[in-house]
Amino acid sequence: MRVESPWGSAETAKVVHVVGGVTDEVFSFLRPAISTLAHSGLRQTVVMIDDARYGHHMTNLCASAELVLTPTIRSPVNQWRALFQACLGSLASGPVHAVHLHGFLPCLLGAAAVRAARLRAPVFYSPHGSRSLGSLRSIGSPALCLVRPLLRPLPSAAIVTVPREARAFARWASVAVVESPVSDVFLSTPRSEALHPLILTGGWVHNARCVEVFAQLAVLMSVEDLHISFNWIGTVDSASRQRLTAAHVSVLEAASDVECASRLAAGWVFVAPGGTRGFPVILAKAMAAGLPCVAADCPQFREVIRDGATGFLCRSEHEMIRRIATLIDTPELRARMGQAAHDDAKRRFCETRFSASLLEAYAMNTHAIETKGHAGGNEMTPSLRSDLYCVRQALREASAARGGRGPNGDAHCAIALTRSHSRSE
């Protein structure tokens, strides 16, 4: 494994993030988290699978962290074994102030690696909509119970992005809800509605159901006299693109937040046709851009949309069509809901709030670890107590120094790329 360190001293403390695939839900949290922690002066390493489907996220991540990429391997067992070995190597390559595990399987592997490395540092877990807390709860809940003994003598702490996930961690040392932010550009780009009705969606790259529903809506509402247009913002696979094109839906890629915000600003209504496994990133961006939202009535969207105030929650496609038609026909309602959505997004999803919440969660959780010791009640070693004190002080100083600034423009950003060259099997 080749390691290129962008920091001058190899002894600088670091945070190690362990990730499987960097999906949109993971990336929406991981990128601003890395930037926020880098602003505090902490080195960071991201151990992840080099999956081509999420390659567009890597450039943004490596701007402020060292990436350790394990190759994509056909055998799942060998794939996760490679990630485990890469994790062990990262934990052994210098002092570690904290480990953050992103996703269910990375949590299991990371917890085992922490124990094998005899690491003495706080450990955080973020599920990011893992199916272990949803459709696979019967498997995930017992597995989570097995994770905690692996992390002893340190209590484990959870940082979740949606409130409903917090219930799964009632017995953990601490749990904090830190909702993913949206870039300030979505909040500041002025509205500029298209001349004719423009219905938008996007962001669900690998959700065939969302493609199917949005294509059906486009066909059912394709009345020539109304000149209603439908746009999908983001990338899709070739099969989805073909289906959308057949329904006369334009697929518009957005290479940057600025471009995405500009495309959203022209819309009349944003449609979220199906749920997500984690934080609904694109829905939060649409709200920040001032778009009234028509969304499927599912748990993820109920925690974001205030039904009748910032949008409508619908139980069927026919209800979606009625709500979209109402918003098209009523400019005053469209403007009022769009402004309410913008205000909610500004309050909940701004970068400043995210940075403060994340730093507070890190400081709070390391404090819980420091004061509670391990599950048996024994005192922590002086060395471990000193390490945790340093982490808390660094995070508190960074939070105080940041003031009202967001995590962008980080002076500590550096680039490194590490690849594991083991042969794919």
**1 domain-assigned:** no
Q: What are residue 17's DSSP bridge partners?
A: 46, 100
Q: Report DSSP state, residue 380.
A: P
Contacts of 356 (CB under 8 A, 6+ apart): 399, 402
| Confidence at residue 152, expressed as pLDDT on a 0 to 100 scale | 54
**8 domain-assigned:** no
**294 domain-assigned:** yes
CATH of the domain at 124: 3.40.50.2000
For residues 84 and 213, membership in a common domain is answered with: no
For residues 102 and 229, membership in a common domain is answered with: no
pLDDT in tens, the chain (425 residues): 434 344 444 457 789 999 988 888 888 999 999 999 888 888 899 999 888 777 777 777 767 789 999 988 889 889 999 999 999 999 998 888 889 999 888 988 888 898 888 888 888 999 887 655 544 444 445 555 555 555 555 556 889 998 888 887 877 778 899 999 999 999 999 999 999 999 999 875 567 888 999 999 999 998 766 789 999 998 888 899 999 999 999 999 888 899 999 999 999 999 999 877 778 989 999 999 999 999 999 988 999 999 999 999 999 999 999 999 999 999 999 999 999 999 999 999 999 999 999 988 888 655 544 554 443 333 444 444 454 455 555 555 555 655 544 443 333 333 233 344 333 44
- Rounded distance between C-alpha atoms, residue 404 and residue 179, angstroms: 18
Q: Which of 46, 31, 37 is nearest to 357 (CA)?
A: 37
For residues 205 and 149, membership in a common domain is answered with: no
For residues 323 and 209, membership in a common domain is answered with: yes
- Rounded distance between C-alpha atoms, residue 178 and residue 24, angstroms: 16
**54 domain-assigned:** yes
For residues 305 and 239, membership in a common domain is answered with: yes
Contacts of 159 (CB under 8 A, 6+ apart): 100, 124, 125, 126, 175, 176, 178, 358, 361, 365
Size (the chain), residues = 425
| Confidence at residue 384, expressed as pLDDT on a 0 to 100 scale | 41
Q: Which of 401, 407, 265, 284 is nearest to 341 (CA)?
A: 284
**9 domain-assigned:** no
Number of independent structural domains in the chain: 2
- Rounded distance between C-alpha atoms, residue 84 and residue 12, angstroms: 23
For residues 102 and 207, membership in a common domain is answered with: no
Instruction: Provide the strand spans (E) within 253-337.
Output: 269-272, 293-296, 311-314
| Confidence at residue 119, expressed as pLDDT on a 0 to 100 scale | 83
Of 311, 326, 348, the position where a domain reaches its end is: 348
Contacts of 143 (CB under 8 A, 6+ apart): 104, 108, 132
- Rounded distance between C-alpha atoms, residue 337 and residue 340, angstroms: 5
Cβ contact 42:394 at 8 Å: yes
For residues 216 and 325, membership in a common domain is answered with: yes
For residues 236 and 166, membership in a common domain is answered with: no
Measured CA angle at 160 (ends 155, 166), to 5 deg: 75
For residues 326 and 413, membership in a common domain is answered with: no
Q: Which of 251, 323, 263 is nearest to 293 (CA)?
A: 323
| Confidence at residue 104, expressed as pLDDT on a 0 to 100 scale | 85
Contacts of 98 (CB under 8 A, 6+ apart): 15, 16, 121, 122, 123, 124, 362, 366, 391
Of 331, 348, 365, the position where a domain reaches its end is: 348
Q: What is the pTM of this model?
A: 0.79
Q: Which of 97, 149, 144 is nearest to 119 (CA)?
A: 97
| Confidence at residue 414, expressed as pLDDT on a 0 to 100 scale | 31
**3 domain-assigned:** no
| Confidence at residue 398, expressed as pLDDT on a 0 to 100 scale | 54
Q: Following DSSP, what letter does each residue of 322-379 receive, concatenated?
A: HHHHHHHH-HHHHHHHHHHHHHHHHHHS-HHHHHHHHHHHHHHHHHHHHHH-STT-PP
Contacts of 322 (CB under 8 A, 6+ apart): none
Q: Could you list the residue range(s) of the whole structural domain that residue 121 is in? A: 14-181+351-419
**318 domain-assigned:** yes
Tell me the CA end-to-end span of the chain in Å, nearest whole number: 17
For residues 27 and 65, membership in a common domain is answered with: yes
Distances in whole angstroms, Cα of residue 394 to Cα of each of 7, 130, 230, 360, 399: 17, 31, 48, 12, 9
For residues 64 and 208, membership in a common domain is answered with: no
Of 309, 325, 348, the position where a domain reaches its end is: 348
For residues 362 and 272, membership in a common domain is answered with: no
**386 domain-assigned:** yes
Helices (H), 64-136: 76-92, 104-116
| Confidence at residue 416, expressed as pLDDT on a 0 to 100 scale | 34
